[in-house]
Amino acid sequence: MQRVKKDDQVVVISGKDKGKTGRVVNVYPKADKVMVEGVNIATRHRQISMTSRGAREGGIEHVEVPVHLSNVMPVCPKCDEPTRVGVRFVDGEKMRFCRKCDSEFS
């Protein structure tokens, strides 16, 4: 079970965007990476290319790039602080919970 899921609120704990918070847009479990909204913006230089409907404009684009899972920490919805996530079994199902305030994640 992943400790970070899609639509979780996370805070970046290391790297150039340390301290920023955002919502998880995508999770890539095989690569241990997550895409966080508004974090890790990279600059891409696009060449002008021809498509079937006409030319596409080139130029400089700013795109979001995935962040490694070890560089983000989930934010508890109840206590509003970055926390580690625990897992417990409730009625045969795995449930994530906050290690600080012991409340369940959605």
Q: What is the CA 28 to chain-centroid distance, rounded?
A: 10
Cα-Cα end-to-end distance for the chain: 14
Please name each of the domains of the chain with its CATH number: 9-46+61-98 (2.30.30.30)
11-64 confidence digits (pLDDT tens): 999 999 999 999 999 999 999 999 999 999 999 998 887 777 777 778 899 999
Identify the H or E element spanning 28: strand 21-28
Q: Find out whether 38 and 22 touch, Cβ atoms under 8 Å.
A: yes
Q: Residue 10 contacts by C-beta under 8 Å, 6 or more apart in sequence?
A: 4, 21, 22, 23, 24, 34, 36, 72, 73, 74, 75
Amino acid at the residue 29: P
Residue 40, pLDDT score = 94
